[in-house]
Structure 1
Amino acid sequence: MELIVVSSEGLMKSEHDAALLLRDSLPAHWVGYAGFLMTDIQGKTMEIDMLIFAEDRVLLVELKNWAGIIEMDDRTWYQTTPKGNIIKHASPIDIKRGHAMRIKSLFQRDLAKRWGNTFFEVQPMVVLCGEAKIRRTTPTDAPMVVYIEDFKNIGDKETYKDIIPQDKASYYFEKNPHLRPCDRNQIKIFDDWRRGGKAIQKRYRSEASYIIPELNEPAFKGPKGVYNEHIGEHIRDAEDKALVRIWNFNNLHNVDTTMTLRAFLGLREERAIRYIRKTDRQLSDDYLLNFKHDLNEDSLPVDMAEVYALPPMVERLDDYLNSSSLNPEDRLAIIRSVITPLASMHAIGVYHRDLSTARLWWDKTRGAVLISGLLSSKFPDMGNTSLADLRQELNSTRVEMPEDSFGTTEILGQALDVFQLGVLTYEIAYGAKLPRPKESWKEWPGPAPESDPFEGRLHSWFQKALEPEANDRFENAGQMLEALAQLVNLQNIDTNEDKQRVLDELTSYGTQVIPMMVFLQDPNFQPEQDMVRQRLAYRSNTAEGKACTVRIFMAARPNPDNHGQSQRLLHFLNRCKTASNNVLPIPKLVDFGHGMNGTHVVQEYVEGINLETWMEQKGKTYEQRYEVADEIIRAINKIHDLELNHGDLKPENILVQENDRKLNILLLDMFDMDFSGLSPSNTMYSPKSDVSASARDRYAVYLLVDEIFGGCADKGCLLYTSDAADDAN
């Protein structure tokens, strides 16, 4: 089929892909038009996905990329998403049936005579191009709803008769083939009409009633094309603006963009705002953008869009700084306005982690800074535990953090924010971006005296904010507000000598072992592949016949061009070495190292039940609870004594074993890492503030002990949980 896309901006990616599939599947002499607005004889517009000129009629096609189960009920369709959410839709057939009547009236008025006094039937069809399945139909809608896998075959005459409701038009056009809708002369007449009038208009992408006039010119380009941000205008009020963030998860090449990951990343800012709104409503009202979208986490397209309302008279902070003439007092006021909301966010455990002048908005009416771009934020996100952190993949600041350069394994959100605040407030203070250090430099250069409106008063303040060691910086944005008087001295310890040292040490862990050949997969157990963490895990047996588990981290290997990644890998393998040289409450390490397939860790497989299952079993005595709690505390103390930590402690990662009526525990998943080489953590058993892995372990132990003794009536339970609380503190 010949396909004419009137406006590519007017089609979602799924709709565009469906249009291309139909182009390649339907007869070559048919003509289809996609992505446009059509104005009826009353001057009202209709959004048209596709209009196909076929043998005996014009097909008005509505493309629906839905998932889940569809149930039709009179003029309402109910969509049950894969996670069980129910979405109520007005019947698309009912809507398109009305559109078809309006199009027929338009054709009758403008084109019937030109087409040889021929009237074309306009047939509405809803084509399901997603994974949705129809469970219940209605007699009125069912004949006009079809799956795209079936619809693409209507070029076949018999299939056409089976799918498209038949009328007498086919007999008429058999006698008058030159008058068929797809006849080249009829198409030319239609093309002349659509080009010469105003009935066919470009269709712009619309999200939550906001249209994007210039889709090819984003206001802000995200990293690697993963998302772009646009300024949308409300369809009924051009002065009503919104920030529209459109994702392209296909450009996130290093991970598998499952629906879970789309929801984790694409709805992260919304979840952060919801958390802040519940915790500090005033902070949310004063400094955050209000989301206008209504998205379901289990039905997000690959080009999903978020929509955030923009108050009147706001502009991006970088645009405001570039266009304004500011005196020192103005610059100091803006610096304070930037740090103020971040200080409040830090106080409730929310960290931005991607701060720049392009992520902030200047509200001229209030003289305040508004926060956006929370898609890399960290906060107590209870519904998304142990997902890999893609902060570096989504970094839009173009500022390489010292933590990433040096391969720091414990990265604190507030420390990242403090450093990034130092970088962006330097730009505000001095009207120029912070220079990047060279390898031989020992400190960041301050501005020339003639370019420093503060006469050196802020040098030491900037120096403390931009310290390479996180512990040497301000603790949080609140401390920055209390200081405001200090320069930049970023000592560059990322030397070539240090890079070579790390690579040399990693050589000792190199191995020619190909784990999948030495440790063959046990066919009785399904392997587990985590594309987000680039990790493969499976069951196997050692040469001695002992059951074992094999984990392969495909992305974890020495990288001469990424010192931070190499540092983290060395830290991981050093932990493995320490654990293998000591007797610890973990499954025994059989083998570990890095090679051509990445980094692998092999541990013995041990029988038992996890703590979560153990606690669900009824009839546990005080003595049994005491024994398990004591074993957990001793286990954590033992690994901490060796300066090791777990970092992701939770009931699922604790195995309970019983031998001769004696209970003991083993710690699972101690050797795990995400795509960036960082150890995963969870939010259920971690404090709200970012802390070290050892501190997370202590906090988790307190919560676990509390849960173990929960519901126990014995007096000893109360005494034990009190002691545990003291130990945790």
Structure 2
Amino acid sequence: MINSKKWIEICSEGLTSHEVNAITSIEQNFIDDEKKSSLTVKCKDFKTLYQQTNSIFPWKGYAGFRLADHKNAYEFDLLIFTHCSILVIELKDWHGKISNTNGRWCLNNRDMGKSPVTVTRNKTYLIRNKLQKIKEKFHNKYSNIYVDYLVVMTGKATFTELPEAERNYVMQWENFLKLKDEEEFRKKFGHKDKTSFIDPADLAKEFFKEKTIPPKPYRKSGYIAEEDALFVHPNHLYKEYLAHSEEIKTDLALLRRWDFNQINDNSAKTPDGRYRIVKHEYDVLEYIKIANEDLFNSCLSHKLPPIKEDITAQYTDIFSYSPSNRSFNIFIEQNANKLNKEERLQIVYLLLKKLSNLHKIEIAHRDINYHSIWITDAKKITFSNFISAYYPKKGTIGNIRDILSVSGIKDLAFEYFPITKPTSYVQDIRSATVLAWHIINAKSISPNNIKIFAEEIKTSNDWYADIFREALSEHPFADGKAFFDAFEKKIPKQKYDFTFDESKLDYYKHPYHHNL
């Protein structure tokens, strides 16, 4: 587990990006001092190394992991093994004024939970217990090693209103980085014996002989996320996870975990810009709710409205989610082959009808793809991911749409059926055409399957083929309504009846694995 060549071992699954950035900065801050001590002098033990270099380095760190005993399990942001101690470090990227009310910390008068000083102190008991076992094993080798702890503020937070007993264990980021200076280190922890020198890497190796446990599942507002993401944006702007309520297991949600640091646009670097990105989708959905409530019920909607102060570089949207929903590819891979062609065509019929209704109220989705269409056992179609959508009240999200959209500025058919300056509505129907063919043929969306579609649709004699070819032409249908009307008119009524009948699908209802 311990790599002696690395300063800090990082288990990034247990950390947010701001914590990873902070830990990387810590490593870089101390690296020059490490080089002085470990690269210029070769010694057989750490004490001799100190005598020759007068340096307390190298130290050893381990970040983003969990440890447990028979009673408790704790997450650790950073554990530092120094020449004389083990430091438990909690990182807080907070901005504003911090105060303590009855043992709970408030940030700008908002309750942030139990005091991090108390929480971090409790973590030290587990570390002390593990250290005691090591001391007993090695007798006097680690007898003078002690355990201490700090809460380090990486954001611009003030904590002068905290009780003095807590302030002693809280440090500003800039002051923490000064601990690389031995005098600064001894000012902070100077009550310990200067002659206590151990090799931090040796102690860390012994400490982590027993495996750590994986980071605990991500929690947000009472929902616990599944370990594996259901969808990852191709540029890692966000990840989406299925989640369930801690209290009611059947209460499901979709968590979208934004990483605005991945967005290469200045608007994502400011609170106002991030709020505008998140709120745009909320506003679109609110517009749909007023214009067509039935259509709104066919969309994944926010459980809570976005609050500007909450939208930091790491932010989580929470959407309502029906237990029967399946993302497009998962539904196709798990269920489509069990449906006959008429039943698959009925799903296409409902998809195009929903798109028609969307365009009737002048909403253009502009990112129709496998991540934004959901299908249930009962053949209900649900839309999601209106991040880049156009709507009449405020128009578009702007140029950043090209970055936010999974499809970018192109629709799913563009590579094989290029078109000059299509409208947003036309782009929607072109992507919907690709999805429709994949539904009919029980194929999931992939580059290879889209290539097969492009070849087959050119020569297909199926009754819907002419409609699809027109949708992909240089002179396509104007919008989803015209597309749906043409499709509906072309249906062989004597052969197909798309009247909704849920009971026909009872046979196919069974538990699903959401991640394939």
Is the 1:2–1:30 contact (alpha carbons within 8 Å) kept by the matching residues of 2? Answer: no
Which residue in 1 is equivalent to 2:29? 25
Q: Offset at 1:48?
A: 1.1
The CA deviation string for residues 399-450 of structure 1, in whole angstroms up to 9 with x for no partner, is: 8359996664xx7544432333233223323456566999xxxx9954533x
CA distance in 1, matches of 2:370, 2:7: 43
Which residue in 1 is equivalent to 2:20? 16
Q: How does 1:377-396 map to 2 (within 5 A)?
A: 377-379=389-391, 388-396=398-406
Partner of 1:375, secondary structure, is coil
Among 103, 112, 116, the residue aligned to 1:89: 112
Unpaired stretches in structure 2, ≥5 consecutive residues: 31-55, 444-448, 492-516
Among 70, 82, 85, the residue aligned to 1:41: 70
One-letter amino acid of the counterpart of residue 14, structure 1: H
1:131 aligned to 2:156? yes
Which residue in 2 is equivalent to 1:468? 474
Which residue in 2 is equivalent to 1:426? 437
1:146 aligned to 2:171? yes
One-letter amino acid of the counterpart of residue 87, structure 1: R
Which residue in 2 is equivalent to 1:358? 371
CA distance in 2, matches of 1:294, 1:54: 45
Q: Offset at 1:35?
A: 0.3
Which residue in 1 is equivalent to 2:331? 320
Is the 2:477–2:483 contact (alpha carbons within 8 Å) kept by the matching residues of 1? Answer: no
| CA gap 1:237/1:460 in 2 versus in 1, 3 angstroms | same
Is the 2:159–2:167 contact (alpha carbons within 8 Å) kept by the matching residues of 1? Answer: no
Among 91, 95, 109, the residue aligned to 1:67: 95
CA distance in 2, matches of 1:89, 1:51: 23
The CA deviation string for residues 449-468 of structure 1, in whole angstroms up to 9 with x for no partner, is: 3xx3xxx2x24433554453
Partner of 2:110, secondary structure, is strand
One-letter amino acid of the counterpart of residue 21, structure 1: S
| CA gap 1:234/1:484 in 2 versus in 1, 3 angstroms | same
Is the 1:461–1:484 contact (alpha carbons within 8 Å) kept by the matching residues of 2? Answer: no
CA distance in 2, matches of 1:327, 1:315: 19
Q: How does 1:148-163 map to 2 (within 5 A)?
A: 148-163=173-188
One-letter amino acid of the counterpart of residue 138, structure 1: P
CA distance in 2, matches of 1:140, 1:344: 62
Is the 1:464–1:486 contact (alpha carbons within 8 Å) kept by the matching residues of 2? Answer: no
CA distance in 1, matches of 2:433, 2:457: 14
| CA gap 1:68/1:238 in 2 versus in 1, 3 angstroms | same
Is the 2:390–2:397 contact (alpha carbons within 8 Å) kept by the matching residues of 1? Answer: no
Partner of 2:474, secondary structure, is coil
Which residue in 1 is equivalent to 2:351? 338
Q: Offset at 1:334?
A: 0.7
* TM-score, normalised with respect to structure 1: 0.53
1:187 aligned to 2:200? no
Q: How does 1:383-462 map to 2 (within 5 A)?
A: 388-397=398-407, 400-401=410-411, 408=421, 412-431=423-442, 445-449=457-461, 452=462, 456=463, 458-462=464-468
Which residue in 2 is equivalent to 1:367? 379
The CA deviation string for residues 201-259 of structure 1, in whole angstroms up to 9 with x for no partner, is: 12256241434534xxx543424443444555777899876544444444444656322
Is the 2:344–2:439 contact (alpha carbons within 8 Å) kept by the matching residues of 1? Answer: yes
Partner of 2:168, secondary structure, is helix
CA distance in 2, matches of 1:50, 1:236: 31
Which residue in 1 is equivalent to 2:80? 52
| CA gap 1:317/1:445 in 2 versus in 1, 3 angstroms | closer
Among 119, 136, 141, the residue aligned to 1:113: 136
Q: Offset at 1:330?
A: 0.8
Which residue in 1 is equivalent to 2:274? 262
Q: Offset at 1:97?
A: 2.6
One-letter amino acid of the counterpart of residue 477, structure 2: R
CA distance in 2, matches of 1:61, 1:234: 30
The CA deviation string for residues 545-572 of structure 1, in whole angstroms up to 9 with x for no partner, is: xxxxxxxxxxxxxxxxxxxxxxxxxxxx
**RMSD value over aligned CA atoms?**
4.0
| CA gap 1:5/1:289 in 2 versus in 1, 3 angstroms | farther
One-letter amino acid of the counterpart of residue 120, structure 2: K
Among 173, 198, 201, the residue aligned to 2:213: 201
| CA gap 1:55/1:144 in 2 versus in 1, 3 angstroms | same
Is the 1:245–1:305 contact (alpha carbons within 8 Å) kept by the matching residues of 2? Answer: yes
Which residue in 2 is equivalent to 1:329? 342
Partner of 2:204, secondary structure, is helix
The CA deviation string for residues 611-640 of structure 1, in whole angstroms up to 9 with x for no partner, is: xxxxxxxxxxxxxxxxxxxxxxxxxxxxxx
Q: Offset at 1:320?
A: 2.2
The CA deviation string for residues 331-358 of structure 1, in whole angstroms up to 9 with x for no partner, is: 2221133234434444444331111233
One-letter amino acid of the counterpart of residue 22, structure 2: A
Is the 1:40–1:106 contact (alpha carbons within 8 Å) kept by the matching residues of 2? Answer: no
Among 175, 191, 213, the residue aligned to 2:227: 213
1:100 aligned to 2:153? no
Is the 1:67–1:299 contact (alpha carbons within 8 Å) kept by the matching residues of 2? Answer: no
Unpaired stretches in structure 1, ≥5 consecutive residues: 81-85, 488-729
Is the 1:339–1:481 contact (alpha carbons within 8 Å) kept by the matching residues of 2? Answer: no
Answer with 1 or 2: which has the greater Rg. 1
Among 5, 8, 11, the residue aligned to 1:7: 11
Is the 1:3–1:34 contact (alpha carbons within 8 Å) kept by the matching residues of 2? Answer: no
CA distance in 2, matches of 1:119, 1:367: 68
Report which stretch shifted further, 55-64 or 460-469: 460-469
CA distance in 2, matches of 1:302, 1:202: 24
CA distance in 1, matches of 2:136, 2:126: 18
Q: Offset at 1:32?
A: 1.4
Q: Offset at 1:49?
A: 0.6
Which residue in 2 is equivalent to 1:545? none
Partner of 2:205, secondary structure, is helix
CA distance in 2, matches of 1:413, 1:155: 56
Is the 1:223–1:395 contact (alpha carbons within 8 Å) kept by the matching residues of 2? Answer: no
CA distance in 2, matches of 1:280, 1:5: 53
Q: Offset at 1:2?
A: 5.3
Q: Offset at 1:9?
A: 1.1
| CA gap 1:435/1:202 in 2 versus in 1, 3 angstroms | closer
* TM-score, normalised with respect to structure 2: 0.72
One-letter amino acid of the counterpart of residue 181, structure 2: D
| CA gap 1:290/1:106 in 2 versus in 1, 3 angstroms | farther
Partner of 2:62, secondary structure, is strand
Larger RCO (alpha carbons 8 Å, 6+ apart): 2
Is the 2:217–2:226 contact (alpha carbons within 8 Å) kept by the matching residues of 1? Answer: yes
The CA deviation string for residues 676-695 of structure 1, in whole angstroms up to 9 with x for no partner, is: xxxxxxxxxxxxxxxxxxxx
Partner of 2:64, secondary structure, is strand
| CA gap 1:155/1:351 in 2 versus in 1, 3 angstroms | same
| CA gap 1:64/1:28 in 2 versus in 1, 3 angstroms | same
Q: Offset at 1:16?
A: 0.7
Is the 1:464–1:474 contact (alpha carbons within 8 Å) kept by the matching residues of 2? Answer: no
One-letter amino acid of the counterpart of residue 328, structure 1: K
CA distance in 2, matches of 1:28, 1:381: 60
